[in-house]
Amino acid sequence: MGLILIIISLPFYFFFIHIGIIISIVGLLTIIIKKQKDFSKKIKEKRAKIIYHEIRYNFPVSEETFTLSKIFDVTPNLNSHKNWLTDAINAFEKEYRISKNKMFLYNRNHSAAKFPYISISIENMNYKKGENYIKAFYKSGNYKLICKYLNRRTITPLEEHLDTFTKLIEKQENKQKI
């Protein structure tokens, strides 16, 4: 739009110089304002993405998490966070069905959790390498909340085992903070 105004202003320089200057200035201002809006939109998307990646593990089904994920989604109809939650639950439950309790990492006497706490093989994550689905299940109750949000039934033995295991994780995290 701004470039069009500048082009239109060129013939006015020959006949009505004051109008040509005004139209050129309006065109330049239009270009500058558009660049500024694009720049601020990029910054907003970057900030939203950073905050989203920080809170999606601790608050996977909160309204704020979904709002932040929608800010940088490619299309308004795409809900990438819901897809991420579905992939996380699928990978987690698939690993549990295959390996049962071996996915939970303990120390030698099973009195504490051992980092990285939960292990999901890359095959069960559908070969998505950069995804840290397991972090979503470090907090007690997240598995149940995610399943409730996705309208899925929980696997009762997994839920019970995960509840006791998350207590060990929280105990281990508190030790590391001290």
Task: Give me the pLDDT at residue 74, please.
Answer: 72
**Alpha helix (H) residue ranges in 76-155:** 80-99, 142-149
Task: Give me the pLDDT at residue 22, please.
Answer: 87
pTM of the model: 0.76
Task: Give me the pLDDT at residue 178, please.
Answer: 63
Task: Give me the pLDDT at residue 127, please.
Answer: 67
Per-position b or e across 19-32, b if 16+ CB within 10 A of its CB: ebeebbeebeebee
Task: Give me the pLDDT at residue 73, please.
Answer: 78
Task: Give me the pLDDT at residue 40, please.
Answer: 93
The Cα 68–Cα 6 span in angstroms is: 38
Task: Give me the pLDDT at residue 147, please.
Answer: 93
Kindly state the greatest CA–CA separation across the chain: 92
The residue ranges of every structural domain in the chain are: 2-44, 80-177
Task: Give me the pLDDT at residue 130, please.
Answer: 66
Residue showing tokens 């696997």: 155
Whose CA is closest to 164, among 119, 111, 120?
Answer: 111
> Are 52 and 39 contacting, i.e. CB atoms less than 8 angstroms apart?
no
Positive or negative torsion for Cα 168, 57, 158, 104? negative
Mean pLDDT by 10 residues, the chain (178 residues): 79 81 88 93 91 90 89 76 90 89 77 78 72 86 92 91 86 73
